[in-house]
Structures are given as C-alpha cells and as structure tokens.
Structure 1
Amino acid sequence: MARQFFWQLALAVYVSIVLICKVTVVHADTAAGHGDWLRKANAALSSYDYVSALEAFDEAIEQDPHSYLTYFRRSTAQQALGRTAAALADLQATISRNPSFAKAYLQEARIHLKEGDFALALDALKRLSKHPDKEAAIDVSQAKELEAQAKHGKDLEKKLSKLAKGGAAKAEECASVASTLLKLAPNHLSARSHRAQCEAERGNLDEAFVDWTRQSALTSSPLLQLRLSLIAYYILGMRDSQMQDAGVRHIKACLHNDPDNKSCIRAYKLLRKIEKALNKARLHMENGKWVATISALKGPKLGAPTILEDVEQVLQQAQKPQPPYDEPLLPATIKNPAEKSELVFEIHSLYCKAYSEQHLFKKAMHFCDKVLARNPDDRIALAAKGEDHLANGRYNEAVQILSRAFELSGNADRDLYQRLAKAQKLLKQSNSKDYYKVLGVARDADERTIKKAYRRLAREHHPDKGGSQEKMAEINEAFGVLNDSELRERYNQGDDPNDPLGSQDQHSQAFHYSGGGHPFSQFFQNDAFHQFAQGQSGQQYHFSF
C-alpha cells in the first residue's frame, strides 16, 4: 500500500514538473513572439507602412493582450489610416490598463479636437487631471494648450453658427471664420458645410465644391453625392477633364452606398444617356460629319428632348427641392447655372461649328452668339458671325469680325483669309453698285422673288409710265446680273460683270505670288505663311477668291 502511494506521488510530481516545464516554455515562446511582432510593427510604422504595422500590432496584442504600450502604438496606425473610432478604442484600452499614462489622454484630446468634438476633448483633459502623478505632470503644458484650443473652438462654433444665417451680407466673414475653425479642427463637418454654403453665397462654386467633396469623404450622404455629381459633370467639368470624370464617380458612389436610391438611379441613367450622345456627336465632329453631329445632339428619339434640353432641364430642376430631399442640389445663390455650365458651352460650340460648316448661318448664329458671350475670341463663332453679317449686307461689320478672327489665328488660317478677302471685295462693291438693293431683295432671295421684284419695279419706273430712262436702265442692269446664276455667283464673290474694270480688279486682287507683295500682306506676318506662299521651288501659285 505504501509502495503504491509512493509510485502515485512520484507520478504526480513528474506530471507537475512536465506541466511546469511546458508552461515555462509556452510563456517564453509568447514573450519572444510578442517582441518579434512588436519590432516588425515599429519598423513598419517608421516606414509609413501603416497597413503592415496594424497587422503586426494585431499579432503582438494577441500574444500579449496586457501591454498598454502596444495598444497605444496601434492607435497611431489606426489614426494614420483614418480609422478614428478604432484609434479611440485603442486609447481607451491603453488607459484602462494604465490610468496614469498621460500621453493616451493627450492623444485622445487631439483626436477629438481634430474631429471638432471640443466637449469630448475637454473631458479627456479633465480625466487626465485626476492622475497628477510624476509622469502626468510632465505633460501639463501640452494639456493647457489643448484645453485653450478646445475652448477657442467652442467660441468659433457659436460665432459661425450665427454668421451662417446671415446670408450674402455675412458670407465673406462666415467663410473666414469657418476657415479659422477648420485649421483647428480639419474634420469639423458643420464648419466645412457652413464654409461651402458661404462660398456658394459669394458665388465661388469651385471653392464650395472642394468643401462638399471633403465633407462627402467624412460622411455618407446621397444628397451630397448627387450635388457633387451635378456640379462636376454638368457645370464645372470640361470635355475629358478629371472634373467631368469626378461627376461620374460621385453618382456611382451614390449607387454603391444606396443601390435602391431612386434619385441616384434616375440621375445615373440620364447622365449615361447624355454622355453616350455627346461621345457620338464628338466623334462625328472629328470626322467632319456635320449632319450626323446635329443628329446625335438631337438625341436618339424623334420628338424627345434634345441633349441640350435634357441638360438645361437638369440644371433648372437642381434649383428646386426634389423629393425626397428638402433642399435643392444647387444653392439658391447660384443663379443661371446654364450660363456657367461648361457642358452647355460645349454643346453650343458643337452646334455652332456643325451648322456653320453646312453654311446654315441663320441656325448657327443662335448658338454661336451664346459661344461668343462666353468666349469672345472663339474663331469658329466669329467666322460664322462674319458670314451672317455678309448674308445680311453688313459688309463693314463682316470685315471687322473676320479681321479679328484672322488675327486670332496668328494670321495663318487660309480659310479665314479667303472669307476676309471676299468680305473686303463686297464692302468695296457695296460702295459702288448694290444690285440687291436696287431690286429691293435680300442676298439669299430665290429666282422667283427676284423676278417678282423686277416686274413690280419695271411697271412702276417704265418710261412709258412716267419713269426715268436712268432708273429703268439701273433696274435692267441689276436684273440682268441677278437673274443669271453664273453672273450672280460672280457678283456675290465681288466681281461685277457690268464693271469694265471688274475683271482686271478681280485679277489684281487675286493672290499672285511671284516674290512681291499681295493685297493682304499686312495680315501675313509669320514665316509659316510666307513659306506656304512661296512653295519649295520658286513655283508660282494663283488663288482666286
């Protein structure tokens, strides 16, 4: 019996020794593992590789969940990755393991200060003051500085709240106070929202857009995403620009955050429709297909709104609250958004050029005038306006406009040179004989209208009916030219068939380059045109306009 007890006791001692050895080994392995992961985490942190640092800190904490310094260091990685809530949780874990660790309180206060949570920042500093040990005393000056900043932030909040309600009269001061507050608290949502509102009140849509973009990164809001998409794509974004791409990204983000949001779905479908039609129009324009360009701009369905009408309707509706939202996408201070829209400007430009290239100047001018209102130096629109002046007999204005367009081309656009030459000839011609004026018809009058006008004038001024021989001869001369399609074309180009010097004058004004000057040499000041005119082998060129 004694022997049996002895062997049982020996076995128990042996097992205890084995277990103690195993526990000792495991503890040693744990300590070694924690240290290795901690070194890896610190190395990644110093290299700004915050993702790797976070992974290593996670492993270190799993090995040793009681190390308050590991939690504190992990909070740094969390904060660098923008994980504010996780960073604050790690700081709370640090404080719970070491309530006298002053740096954790200070870091917590800094985070709350950055977020604009001034009351929470002051609370963290108050809790720090309850642990006035030697370590905490070292950071008293920092605590006082943070406390002063938090109190100043609260005062700025109150001031900004009042200014934001002051409308346009207080908009400049509002934006200034908001900027001061945002320097103190960069993630202060209401301060950023107020500054965007105040910048919009001042008409600074670009600055407002920047603040709304930052705000959307801090909080998820379908209304904000819709607003950003509309401003970026329909107003500020030019063709193939990053801003226009941002408009597409924001509406996609809206759908990603809320796939069933009906407002986002409608906005996305319309944007894609407009973008598809515009891309077709742009492609046709690049290939010189003017009729197809107009067709693409009119949209895929006959009788449906054109692309321009769709865009204008979007901008108009954006100025009013649309269910389910209580505020409009565009602030009320943004007046006439279509006049500021880069997209509308592009569509006007496409129409202007496509109609002009087809010589449909009456249709073109509706759009070209709008282009010139935004950009007075647009050469295509200026050329169309010059042609419109020519068609309406305003030759002096035509010469002025086309001279301006030619100058903007660097005096190197041959097409504009030809148009200007024609305008100058017609101006000269109008100072001598104007056959259209004699018959009282427009320059684009058809054959029937010309004959009708001639008969009426012949009856009125015939010598047998009391008219003069001179007046009748003038009427016959005008009709003889305008009733003959070939002679009329010559006359329209500035060559009067009834002028005995007309043919000579026509040839003298043609461009004979043989080493001397030419009638418009003052317009061609650059070497490129002279090389073009001279050729490469001393050849002579003859251009008749």
Structure 2
Amino acid sequence: MAAAAAEAECDVVMAAPDGPGEADSDEEARREAEAFKEQGNAYYAKKDYNEAFNYYTKAIDTCPNNASYYGNRAATLMMLGRFREALEDAQQSVRLDDSFVRGHLREGKCHLSLGNAMAASRCFQRVLELDHKNTQAQQELKNATTVLEYEKIAEVDFEKRDFRKVVFCMDRALEFAPACHRFKILKAECLALLGRYLEAQSVASDILRMDSTNADALYVRGLCLYYEDCLEKAVQFFVQALRMAPDHEKACLACRNAKALKAKKEDGNKAFKKGNYKLAYELYTEALGIDPNNIKTNAKLYCNRGTVNSKLRKLREAIDDCTNAVKLDDTYVKAYLRRAQCYMDTEQYEDAVRDYEKVYQTEKTKEHKQLLKNAQVELKKSKRKDYYKILGVNKNASEDEIKKAYRKRALMHHPDRHCGASAEVQKEEEKKFKEVGEAFTILSDPKKKARYDNGQDLEEDGLNMEGQCSLHHSAMAAFNPLESALPLKQVCCWEWFHELTWFSP
C-alpha cells in the first residue's frame, strides 16, 4: 500500500512541473502564430498575396485551431483566384467557430464564385442570422439570386436552341461567378454551336490548362473540331472525354456522329473516284441525314453531291445542291464555282456571272478572272441576236447548210408572200426577213462568223441597218448568179422566190 501511495505521489510530483510548462509552450505558440499573422496582414495590405499566404500558413501550422487564421488565408486565396482552396479554408474556419461572421461570408463568396449559388445563399442567410444588418451579406444574397435566375433562363433557352441568349446569360452570371467552369463550358458549347469556334476553343483551352481531365472541356474542344470538319481529330477529343467520363452522353453522341460522317464521306469519295456516281450520290445523301447541325461538313457534302449530279447531267439538281452548300457556308468558293459552271451549261449566264464575280472578289486569281470574263462574254452573246437560231441551224453548221437554211427562211418571211396579211403581220415578217439577211451576211463570212462566235462587238465592223440591205442583196448572189445583175426590187418579188424554191433541199 505504501509503495503504491509512494508511486502515486511520484506520478503527481513528476506531473506537477508539466502543467506550467505546457501552458508556457501554448502561450509561446500563440504569440508566434500571432506574429506570423501580423506579418501576413502586412503583406496582404501591400497586396503581396503570395507572401501573405505563406505567413498565414505558418500561423495555421503553429496554431491550427484558430478560426481567424483560416479566414485570413481564405481571403488571400480568394485574391489569388484559388477559390476551391479558399472554400476549404473558409469552411474550416466556421467549423472551428460557427459564429465567425467573416468565415460564413467568405464561404458564401467562394461558393458564388464557383457557381454554387444555392450553397452561397445558405451561407449569406447564416450571416444575416448572426448579423441581420450586414449589408454585404444582403447584397451578396441578391447576387446569388440573380445568378440562379440566369441559370434557369439559360437552361430554357438552350432547349429552345437560342444559343445567343444562353451566351448572354452566362456572361452575366460569370460576372458574379468568374471561377465557375460549368458556366464557362455552357458558354463555350453555345459559341461552338453558333459557329464561333475560336472563342469556344479559347474558353475550353483555358479550362484544360487548369484541369486537363475536365471531360466537358474536352468535349467542347472536340465539338469545335467536329463543326470545322476536322472529324478525325474531333473523334480523338471525344474519346478522351469518354475516358474521363464514360457516361458523358453528349460526347458519346458526337463521337458516333463524327465516325459515321467520316465513314460515309470517305465511301462517297471512293465511289466518285471509281466513276460509280449513283452509289456516290446515295452515300452523300445518307451522310447528309446524320447531323443537320454540322454546317461545314454538310456544305461539303452538298457540293460533292452537286458534282455527282453534274456528272449525271442532272444540272438542275446540281444547282440546287450547290445552292444549299452556299446557304450553309457563303464563303465556300468551290460550291460557287461548281454552280457557276452548271449555270453556264444551262445558259443561265447572268447567274453564272454573279457567281464568278463572288468567287473573284473572294480569291483574285488569274484563273477566276478568266472564268468571269468567259461568262461575261457568253452573257453578252446571249443578249445579241442569235443568228443561228434565226436561220434554224446549229453552231457547227457547214457553209452549205447555212446557205440552204437562208434560202428556206428568206422565202418563208419575204414581204411579198405576206402582202395580204394585216399591217402588223407584214411589219413583223419584214423584220424577220431583214434578220434572216443579216444572219446570213454574218454567218456566210468566215471572219465575221468568227468574230460573232467570239462575242466581239459587231458594231466595230461598221454594220448598220442601212448597210444590211446591200449586204442582203449580195447575200442573195451567193446562191443565184442571175440576181447580182438585176435590181433588188425585182429580185425581191415573190415570183423570183417562187422559182428559187427549187434550189432548197
């Protein structure tokens, strides 16, 4: 018993000096921590937040149960834009002291900056429970409510495919929540859907620099490439996004569409190169049904199908396809060139000139300039009298065919043949008769015919309506040697033309 008592006393004796020693040690630690905090405050005041962070960390390491130290470091991290870390410190500060108003306020600000408006609202409401006159909490609560409203509007507008309005809402929300990746991703996705690929890529790339495993950012990067018709690269990003988030529905759908488009397009190209135009047409048509939102790829598919239709001599369909292509992409030079050629082939020269002008304005090359010039010449020719049509012959007609056609048409429209008709008919037939003579004068002369075929201005030849009569007179001599020795009036009588009918084939 005595031994036991002595032993106990010894414990007491041994323990007695430890009490004051521990108290002194704690006090010393508190003083040291306070010194670190004061140094941190000094650097914070100088806006040297990195040094302030270091000293607040030393204060926490020295005295880890002080709520204000975590609160101060949270404030520093917020100034450095490190809101997730700041949130952890703010939450720790209120765990240590639930009545710490600044701690709750900072936690709410971190939540709001990260886009967690509901959680932020709860924090600000807690501040108002502790201090109902806190004006900062009142304002921040309004800000959180505003962010929630923008979120709801954006969600509805995204379903309506009003992507411009979604971008607007996200820009406004990001003014209060600058560190919210979710808002940035939604904005970037809508920018991609609006065709603003560089802006979308910039936003997604910024997020990936901070978090290379962000599946949503990877998806948006892939989406930009997908809509720029870089299908193979797009698939790589979609696959990477699915590795990070296997249940990412948008990435899964986009990956499937990209692979399908790539396969159909390549198969269509192969069929075209082999001359299997019918199969190529079918494959391009199937590809066009995969994703109507992929504007750039679909523009190329329409142009490719238009080329197929032109090969099949379905020129109207080819024009329609090229028109659809330029509706999707009004900078698509190849589609304008293809449509212009189809317009030329269908003698729609004004439309051809318009397309070639668009091409030349976009790419001022010698080739495009020549194409435009050719179309302008054909347009000019189309607006002049068609001498081949007047005589009823094609452009490859021989000299004999031209002479025979002239005889036939001259007899048909000679004024004496229509002397019993009304004045209006006589006038019209006289006009046609003169045109027949004019046509023969030009087409029977190799030089004049060449100039006419080349679309040169025939006024340069000195031809006029007064001269056409004498030209017509000489033209008659080309097939009747007696005519040149007789007056034109006598030659032009009906009897003479009646005799001449025997020379017609």
TM-score under structure 2 length normalisation: 0.50
Residues 225/354 of structure 1: CA separation in 2 closer, same or farther (3 Å cut): farther
The question of 1:370 aligning with 2:324 is answered yes
Q: What is the letter of the counterpart of residue 258 of structure 2?
A: L
The question of 1:416 aligning with 2:407 is answered no
Residues 174/422 of structure 1: CA separation in 2 closer, same or farther (3 Å cut): closer
Cα deviation for residue 387 of structure 1 reads 3.1
Alpha-carbon separation, structure 2, partners of 1:298 and 1:262: 36
Alpha-carbon separation, structure 2, partners of 1:428 and 1:260: 64
Cα deviation for residue 24 of structure 1 reads 8.5
Residues 502/185 of structure 1: CA separation in 2 closer, same or farther (3 Å cut): same
Cα deviation for residue 143 of structure 1 reads 3.4
* Alignment map for 1:89-100 (pairs within 5 Å): 89-98=88-97
> What whole-Å deviation, never above 9, does each CA across 1:98-157 have from its counterpart, x for those lacking one?
55543212212323444565665454445446667xxxx9x8332343455556777x48
Q: Over the residues paired in the alignment, what is the CA RMSD in angstroms?
A: 6.9
* Alignment map for 1:430-449 (pairs within 5 Å): 431-434=386-389, 438=393
Cα deviation for residue 94 of structure 1 reads 1.9
User: Could you say which residue in structure 2 is the equivalent of 1:388?
Assistant: 342
The gaps in structure 2 that reach 5 residues or longer are 1-12, 413-441, 458-505
Alpha-carbon separation, structure 2, partners of 1:496 and 1:121: 90
Answer yes or no: is the 8 Å Cα contact 2:298–2:325 preserved in 1: no
> What whole-Å deviation, never above 9, does each CA across 1:335-369 have from its counterpart, x for those lacking one?
x535xx1232245457778999x998949645433
Alpha-carbon separation, structure 1, partners of 2:356 and 2:152: 57
Q: What is the letter of the counterpart of residue 297 of structure 2?
A: L
Alpha-carbon separation, structure 2, partners of 1:503 and 1:130: 98
User: Could you say which residue in structure 2 is the equivalent of 1:232?
Assistant: 224
The gaps in structure 1 that reach 5 residues or longer are 1-12, 282-291, 316-335, 444-449, 475-494, 511-545
Alpha-carbon separation, structure 1, partners of 2:120 and 2:223: 36
Alpha-carbon separation, structure 1, partners of 2:244 and 2:24: 52
Q: What is the letter of the counterpart of residue 369 of structure 1?
A: T
- Identify, as 1 or 2, the structure richer in helix: 2
The question of 1:502 aligning with 2:440 is answered no
Residues 471/371 of structure 1: CA separation in 2 closer, same or farther (3 Å cut): same
Residues 238/406 of structure 1: CA separation in 2 closer, same or farther (3 Å cut): same
Alpha-carbon separation, structure 1, partners of 2:327 and 2:352: 18
| SS of structure 1 residue aligned to 2:238 | helix
Answer yes or no: is the 8 Å Cα contact 1:405–1:416 preserved in 2: no
User: Could you say which residue in structure 2 is the equivalent of 1:337?
Assistant: 293
User: Could you say which residue in structure 1 is the equivalent of 2:463?
Assistant: none
User: Could you say which residue in structure 1 is the equivalent of 2:437?
Assistant: none
The question of 1:470 aligning with 2:408 is answered yes
User: Could you say which residue in structure 1 is the equivalent of 2:288?
Assistant: 312
Residues 82/277 of structure 1: CA separation in 2 closer, same or farther (3 Å cut): farther
Asked which structure has the greater CA Rg, the reply is 2
Alpha-carbon separation, structure 2, partners of 1:247 and 1:41: 49
Q: Which has the higher contact order (CA 8 A, sep 6+)?
A: 1
Alpha-carbon separation, structure 2, partners of 1:388 and 1:144: 68
Answer yes or no: is the 8 Å Cα contact 1:395–1:424 preserved in 2: yes
Identity of aligned residues (%): 14
Alpha-carbon separation, structure 2, partners of 1:31 and 1:418: 90
> What whole-Å deviation, never above 9, does each CA across 1:246-288 have from its counterpart, x for those lacking one?
956752452232358798567547636866998xx9xxxxxxx
The question of 1:140 aligning with 2:144 is answered no
Alpha-carbon separation, structure 1, partners of 2:95 and 2:176: 28
The question of 1:74 aligning with 2:68 is answered no
| SS of structure 2 residue aligned to 1:65 | coil
Residues 35/361 of structure 1: CA separation in 2 closer, same or farther (3 Å cut): farther
The question of 1:251 aligning with 2:238 is answered yes
